[in-house]
Amino acid sequence: MTFVFDCQQAVAHHPLTLDISGVTFRPEGAGYIALLAPGPDENPWSFDFDIDYTVFNRRIWPALAQRIPAFEAIKLKVPGLATWPLTILTIMPFLVPTRL
C-alpha cells in the first residue's frame, strides 16, 4: 500500500529512503509518499483492494517517526494501492555489461 502524507514541521531534504523495516519513503511535491514492502509471510500478489489504515498506523508511521522525529506530526492525505512486484533489482541499481 502507498500512502501520501504531509509533515507539520520542516524537514531537511531526504532522497528516496529505504528503511530496514521495509518502509520506503520519498518527497513528493510539498509532501511525502510512503509504502511498505510485504513481509515474508504476506502474500504480495493479493488483489485485496480494501485500504487497511492499521498498516499505516501500526507499521509505517512508527518506522517513519523513529527515523525522522519530525514525522511524529504527520497528517495522512491520500491512501492508495500499488500492484507492481517489488524485487531486489527494482530497488538497487545494477550495471549491465555492454559492447562498444
Please indicate, yes or no, whether the overall pTM of this predicted structure exceeds 0.75. Answer: no
Residue 62 region by backbone torsions, left for phi larger than 0, else alpha for psi between -120 and 50, else beta: alpha
Element (H, E) at 27: strand 23-28
Give pLDDT tens digits for 39-97: 778 766 666 677 778 888 999 999 999 999 999 989 888 776 555 555 555 555 544 45
Give pLDDT tens digits for 4-40: 899 988 888 888 998 888 899 999 888 899 988 877 7
- For 56, phi then psi, to 5°, come to -70, -50
Which residues are CB-neighbours of 85 under 8 A, at least 6 positions away?
A: 44, 45
